[in-house]
Amino acid sequence: MNSVDIGTLIVRDPDICGDRPRIANTRITVGRIATLWKQGLTPEEIADNWGYLSMAQVYAALTYYHANREEIEMLLARDLADYEKYRQIYTQK
């Protein structure tokens, strides 16, 4: 029987996804999983829609989100502000 150290499911790397917490061996950030969950998708639907994600990975991301909600919400707000800034620049051309 193989055990998984749940501490290995969420990682950060300054060279990948801007050092945002993400599911190990993917480019799926905790913020992305949290956003999908806040939009009403269940963990099962998230795992089904992204067939390479396991339920353990999805729940690890949601656990990280709930344990670090302020950090993730700040990152999501920064991403939205960046998006709006660039959207305005490119729609004015």
Residue 31 maps to a domain:
yes
> Residue 90: what pLDDT?
80
> Residue 21: what pLDDT?
98
pLDDT band at 91 (very low <50, low <70, confident <90, very high): confident
pLDDT in tens, 19-75: 999 999 999 999 999 999 999 999 999 999 999 999 999 999 999 999 999 999 999
Residue 48 maps to a domain:
yes
Give the residue numbers spanning the domain of 15: 6-91
- Structure token pair of residue 73: 């919400």
Residue 41 maps to a domain:
yes
Q: Which residue has the tokens 């051309």?
A: 93
Residue 23 maps to a domain:
yes
Residue 73 maps to a domain:
yes
Residue 18 C-alpha from the chain's centroid = 12
Q: Is the dihedral of CA 35, 84, 19, 75 positive or negative?
A: negative
Domain count of the fold of the chain: 1
Residue 27 maps to a domain:
yes
Residue 1 maps to a domain:
no
Check: CB of residue 22 under 8 Å from CB of residue 16.
yes
Backbone angles phi, psi at 52, to 5 degrees: -85, -5
CATH of the domain at 14: 1.10.10.10
State the average pLDDT over residues 12-16: 96
Backbone angles phi, psi at 13, to 5 degrees: -155, 125
